[in-house]
Amino acid sequence: MDVEIPAGQIAVLLGSNGAGKTTLLRILSMLTQPDAGTIQIYGFDTSTNGPSVRAVTGAALHSPMLYSDMSIRENLEFFAGLYRLDSVSNLIEKTSNKVGISERLDQRVRTLSHGYQKRVALARSLMHNPSLLILDEPDSGLDSLSVGMLDTIINEHRASGKTVLFTTHLLDHALEIADRAVVLDRGRVLIDSTNPESERDAILDAYARQQSLSGAANA
């Protein structure tokens, strides 16, 4: 089954552990190759246009993928250099203010909590203003204030005509902010809802059945 997410949408990817969410996000982030099928991101085929795909994609995955012995600032400067971004100091200041890390820019990453490292990874993913923002459980380990900050960033991204694809276990909250909900089951699309608010019951029921089957299989 094909899934197409139009530009300017917020899409949430749901499913129990092992459903294939993280694998799909890693494929979209060019960190893993798919076994079959094709993927296009803003018209670029991921198998033949890697540099173009990376240029329009920003990702903050479950593992922050930061250099632990470097400071936050050094990590962001390094990333900016890879993308040949201009006005790096101003860009770092603007982005760090947006995600609430500006007061600790010169602190080494290894001294930060996992939740704070996720903020740094989010800042890195935003620096080149990607057309597609990919977030793997971005709300995990965040307090309510930080979740509000995350919602603001996601909504601003959509308002500018860009796309957000994220995973989460906070289902009720996800269905409130998402324009689209895709439920995966062992790598296959179980539900592709373009109106998650009105189809909430069906989505929650499918997710609950998955959780139950996953728990029984692991028992």
Domains within the chain, CATH numbers bracketed:
10-65+130-218 (3.40.50.300)
Residue 75 has pLDDT above 90, yes or no: yes
CA distance 207 to 212: 9
Please tell me the pTM assigned to this model: 0.91
Check residue 16 and give its pLDDT: 84
Q: End-to-end CA distance of the chain, in Å?
A: 31
Which of 7, 25, 12 shows the shortest CA–CA distance to 200? 12
Instruction: Classify 183 as helix, strand or coil.
Output: strand
58-62, 121-125, 136-140: range with lowest mean pLDDT: 136-140
Residue 219 has pLDDT above 70, yes or no: no
